[in-house]
Amino acid sequence: MGRQNPPRNAARVVLLGCAVVVSTGCAPSFSEVEKRDMRDTKSDYQRAVLDDLVVSEAEYRNAVDATRDCLQDKGFGVGGVEQDGNQLGFSSSYDGPHAASEGAMQACHDEYLNQVAAVWVSQRISLTS
């Protein structure tokens, strides 16, 4: 009998916490208290980025790169970072069980990106390139 290949999960990873809101052209706006709460309840990485409650373009790009690297380290195939308006994203694929890929993806986003991306988008700043 031939060996069966596990199902291949492919995903387009859009790196922000509020795709629906942003796609309607109405990005959220967070109060200082909300930003502090976001900063204080997340990973050490995101806490450091959000220390001043502002996300620079460099910090946002670094968070996207760190998320991409994290996924790659967990066995995902990842594409290059692409820009769409003031957001960054990349494609990814995973050979293996869907549940494992979902957990790994969530862990990387929780560590590096979720709150950083939400604050970045809320600032309504254009990417320079």
| The dihedral sign for the CA sequence 19, 12, 84, 72 | positive
pLDDT of residue 27: 62
In order along its 129 residues, the chain shows pLDDT tens digits of: 444 444 445 444 444 333 333 333 456 788 888 888 887 877 999 999 999 999 999 999 999 999 999 999 999 999 999 999 999 999 999 888 887 889 999 999 999 999 999 999 999 999 997
What pTM was estimated for this model as a whole? 0.77
The secondary structure of 50-119 as a DSSP string is: GGGS---HHHHHHHHHHHHHHHHHTT-EE---EEETTEEEEEEEEES-HHHHHHHHHHHHHHHTHHHHHH
Res 37: pLDDT: 82
Pairing of strands 87-95, 8-14: antiparallel
**Please, are residues 82 and 90 in contact by the beta-carbon 8 Å criterion?**
yes
What pLDDT does 34 receive? 84
Structural contact between residues 87 and 16, judged by C-beta atoms closer than 8 angstroms:
yes
Question: Domain extents for the chain?
Answer: 8-122
- Does residue 28 contact residue 118 with C-beta atoms inside 8 Å? yes
- Which amino acid belongs to residue 42? K
CA angle 56, 59, 65 (to 5 degrees): 145
Residue 59 neighbours by CB under 8 Å, 6+ apart: 49, 116, 120
* DSSP state, residue 9: E
